[in-house]
Amino acid sequence: MFRLEATSMIRLSDCLGFEVMRLNRQLAAKDISMTDRFPLPNASADLTGEIAIVTGATAGLGRRFAQMLAAAGATVVVTGRRFERLDEVVADIEARGGRALAVRLDVTDADSITAAVNRCEAELGLPTILVNNAGIPDARRANKMPVELVDRVLATNLRGPYLMACEVARRLIGAGRGGRIVNISSIAAFDYGGSGAALYSITKAAVNRMTEVLAVEWAGYGINVNAIAPGSFASEMMDGMIERIGDHSGSFPRKRLGDPAQLDSTLLYLVAPSSEFVTGTVVKVDDGQHRR
């Protein structure tokens, strides 16, 4: 039978003790290096030097997104089809001490997308943040939608964001620069009650999948792609829905609509330096309004 002498046991114990101490020193050294690289807390929200494009920024969530990004230090390209409203948003941002540029953009027009990003790059520099916010509802049952409306919803909610993402990513990749793309989805992508707006739900579900696959494709280039799926928030689009079907916030557990400001922290996190390890994620922000 194999036996260890007492002296051998002591030597083995010493060896194990020394090994544990060695490993602890290595772990401590790693902890120090990680702390040096990522100061505690790793939660920087400083966007100074970043150039952000926000689509659909003339009202509602998009307007708030543009204001918030500017307040965090980014130079913001405010885009949309209604130019007079763009000037209002830019004036508001500048009055608060921020920097912004108004650029007319129709996301259903591929040439308009290229021209808008060209102007951003020519006047401000390479865009490093894109918020794909532009979108429209359909408010129709699927079997009653005219083809023209089908095409417009698909072009605005899916084709446009895809082309925008590719246009910005192409330039970032060419420049060897990472960036952040945030697609604005909807909780409707996960929960559809059957009362109309089926195509809207379909396009937002497609935006979620687009977010996931582009995140994988562009991860190696340092481009993070994520999405936010808001529930029912006060906005121009929501005002139109309330006019059609009435105020439905009473059916929610907390009996309220969201305020666009309540999306600030989520968007800021997804575009800020501290979220560099987060990509391909869809964040639901709906106050528990909808089913899971």
Residues annotated as catalytic (active site), given as ranges: 200
Which residues, 6 or more positions from 47, have their beta carbon under 8 angstroms from its beta carbon?
69, 72, 73, 74, 129, 271, 272
Q: Work out the burial of residue 41: count CB atoms within 10 Å of its CB; fewer than 13 is exposed, 13-18 middle, 19 or more buried.
A: exposed
Decide if 224 contacts 215 (C-beta within 8 A): yes
CA atoms of 4 and 9, how far apart (whole Å): 6
Decide if 233 contacts 260 (C-beta within 8 A): yes
Decide if 182 contacts 228 (C-beta within 8 A): yes
Q: Cis (ω within 30 of 0) for the bond into 41?
A: yes
